[in-house]
A and B are shown apart, each in its own frame.
Chain A
Amino acid sequence: MESAITRVNWQMYQSLVGAGLLCAILIVSVFTITAPVIKRNKEEALQRALFSILPQVQTYKAFVRNQHGRFVIRDDETAPGQVVYVGYHQDNKIAGIAVPANGMGYQDTIELLYAYEPTRQAIVGLVILSNRETPGLGSKIESDAVFHNNFKQLDVALTANQSSLLHDIETVKSGTKTNAWEIDGISGATISSKAVGTIVQKNAAVLIPAVAQRVKDFTIEQTHNQR
């Protein structure tokens, strides 16, 4: 009796572990084959997003913030640190800075790209790169035009010593925005729209003062990645 139970248990282990192993091999194989293509597609999508939020940009260059807090040209894609994409006018003057940021949404990570214009001390655009929010509700963060209008002139002015934001970015209830540093949330997508606001606030609070203090790091003679 006991041996029969052991046999059944063993069969169950065999079938689950066997199927699991085969499934894992198949997933890893497909991932290995498709990963380079997906990476290229994502790079193309990033370029499109970059030029859509900073349309006046002629060329851009990727920088990474190293452990000393300095921004250096990113030669190695795997280099650790916050990446920023600096867009230049034709005369090599800074037109704007696109910053990738991510954070937790309602059910998975939201990846986004926001554009910062140092001369206006404002966030001037936002694109959601990827999200897995609830379709029809949270997914509105990607398509809701009124919500995206919040990021056309979102105040991120700095304090006099440029060490922090003058006002924290806040997401408020839909239709109750009164200040330039507030974001009107989306009714029906409250958690997701708040998540976007939090991601931008957390990133901007650290990065924008750093950019303002190290703006000379971005001065270059020649840039690649022409439009």
Chain B
Amino acid sequence: MSKLITSGSGDTSATDEFIKGLWRENPIFVQVLGMCPTLAVTNSANNALVMGLATAFVLTLSNSIVSLIRHRVPKQVRIATYIMIIATFVTVVDYLIQAISLDMHKALGAFVPLIVVNCLILGRAEAFASKNPMGKSLLDGLGMGLGFTIALLCLGITRELIGNGSIFGWAVFADSYQQWVIMLLPSGGFFTLGLWLIVFNRLKRKTSTITIIKAKAKTNAKTIVKSNATPGTTP
């Protein structure tokens, strides 16, 4: 594995491939991809977690396989081949969820088969995995999948907490808590996504401002050192 990862462009970039999906290029909060399951199945933390993990599973494996066969597939049939691979892993995950919990499968309804058409998965296969080695593609899939899962969880936890007064089915508030049922309805999905986008963008802006300030401070310090050193060097 480590050999595969380092065969790309070094350890740092491999880590970066993983991290970028979590924050800088988060599929939901930055790329705004896969909105259908994001809005539809995040009415409870459990549903969000299972959908996130299922998508991450498909994304990671399809990225790896697409990368592995990228030199063997003629470009004319690449999309058809990618879709076939993605559909296979979706079928696998569908059977696995049915085996683990039929109730969960019922709760997710048609959204598990619909992972096939999640633009995030085909997007990563075409834009990344088909152009990069297997190790990097695997990490990209893992990072993006994890980023997707975390974002779904953020929405799922918020909606379940406000809409049902619980998290993962565990009651958080007292029985007297008046549940905001609207949060469990589709409109609640839009409200929650909007709120999370505000929070995420504010955090992102803050982080990038701090980075810019730090970079500026570093440049200024270098200039000062240079200007202080200049008189001494030319007496």
Please list the residues of chain A having a beta carbon within 8 angstroms of any beta carbon in chain B: 8, 11-12, 15-16, 19-20, 23, 26-27, 30-31, 34, 37-38, 41-42, 44-45, 130, 132-136, 139, 142
* Residue-wise interface mask of B (98-126) relative to A, using a CB-CB cutoff of 8 A (1 in contact, 0 not): 11011100100111010000000000000
A23-B85, A132-B109 known; A15 vs B77 contact (CB < 8 Å): yes
Which applies to chain A's interface (DSSP): helix, strand, loop or mixed? helix
- Whether A19 contacts B84 by the Cβ 8 Å rule is yes
- Whether B84 contacts A20 by the Cβ 8 Å rule is yes
- Whether B102 contacts A30 by the Cβ 8 Å rule is no
- Whether A15 contacts B111 by the Cβ 8 Å rule is no
Chain B residue at minimum C-beta to C-beta distance from A32:
B95
- Whether B84 contacts A23 by the Cβ 8 Å rule is yes
Nearest-neighbour CB distance to chain A for B177, whole angstroms, equals 23
Tell me how many residue pairs across A and B have CB atoms closer than 8 Å: 68
**CA–CA, A15 and B130, complex, Å:** 15
A19-B84, A132-B109, A135-B110 known; A12 vs B98 contact (CB < 8 Å): no
A16-B80, A16-B81, A20-B84 known; A11 vs B40 contact (CB < 8 Å): no
Please list the residues of chain B having a beta carbon within 8 angstroms of any beta carbon in chain A: 40, 69, 72-74, 76-77, 80-81, 84-85, 87-88, 91-92, 95-96, 98-99, 101-103, 106, 109-111, 113, 186
- Whether A34 contacts B109 by the Cβ 8 Å rule is no
- Whether A45 contacts B102 by the Cβ 8 Å rule is yes
- Whether A136 contacts B99 by the Cβ 8 Å rule is no
Chain B residues lying within 8 Å of A27, measured Cβ to Cβ, are: 88, 91-92
Chain B residues lying within 8 Å of A45, measured Cβ to Cβ, are: 102-103
**CA–CA, A34 and B100, complex, Å:** 9
- Whether A30 contacts B92 by the Cβ 8 Å rule is yes
Chain B residue at minimum C-beta to C-beta distance from A40:
B99
Chain B residues lying within 8 Å of A34, measured Cβ to Cβ, are: 95-96, 98-99
Nearest-neighbour CB distance to chain A for B171, whole angstroms, equals 22
- Whether A19 contacts B81 by the Cβ 8 Å rule is yes
Which applies to chain B's interface (DSSP): helix, strand, loop or mixed? helix
Nearest-neighbour CB distance to chain B for A55, whole angstroms, equals 19
Chain A residues lying within 8 Å of B72, measured Cβ to Cβ, are: 15
19 contacts between A and B (CB under 8 A): A8-B76, A12-B74, A16-B81, A19-B81, A19-B84, A19-B85, A23-B88, A27-B91, A27-B92, A30-B91, A30-B92, A34-B96, A34-B99, A38-B99, A41-B98, A42-B102, A132-B109, A132-B110, A134-B110
Nearest-neighbour CB distance to chain A for B41, whole angstroms, equals 8
Nearest-neighbour CB distance to chain A for B182, whole angstroms, equals 15
Chain A residues lying within 8 Å of B186, measured Cβ to Cβ, are: 136
Chain A residue at minimum C-beta to C-beta distance from B77:
A12
Chain A residue at minimum C-beta to C-beta distance from B185:
A136
**CA–CA, A38 and B186, complex, Å:** 30
Chain B residue at minimum C-beta to C-beta distance from A42:
B102
Chain B residues lying within 8 Å of A23, measured Cβ to Cβ, are: 84-85, 87-88
Nearest-neighbour CB distance to chain A for B33, whole angstroms, equals 19
Chain B residue at minimum C-beta to C-beta distance from A37:
B99
**CA–CA, A26 and B94, complex, Å:** 13
Chain B residues lying within 8 Å of A20, measured Cβ to Cβ, are: 84
Nearest-neighbour CB distance to chain A for B18, whole angstroms, equals 26
Chain B residues lying within 8 Å of A19, measured Cβ to Cβ, are: 69, 73, 81, 84-85
**CA–CA, A136 and B91, complex, Å:** 23
Nearest-neighbour CB distance to chain A for B52, whole angstroms, equals 17
**CA–CA, A38 and B103, complex, Å:** 12
Chain A residues lying within 8 Å of B84, measured Cβ to Cβ, are: 16, 19-20, 23
Chain B residue at minimum C-beta to C-beta distance from A133:
B110
- Whether B74 contacts A8 by the Cβ 8 Å rule is yes
**CA–CA, A59 and B18, complex, Å:** 55
**CA–CA, A33 and B40, complex, Å:** 30
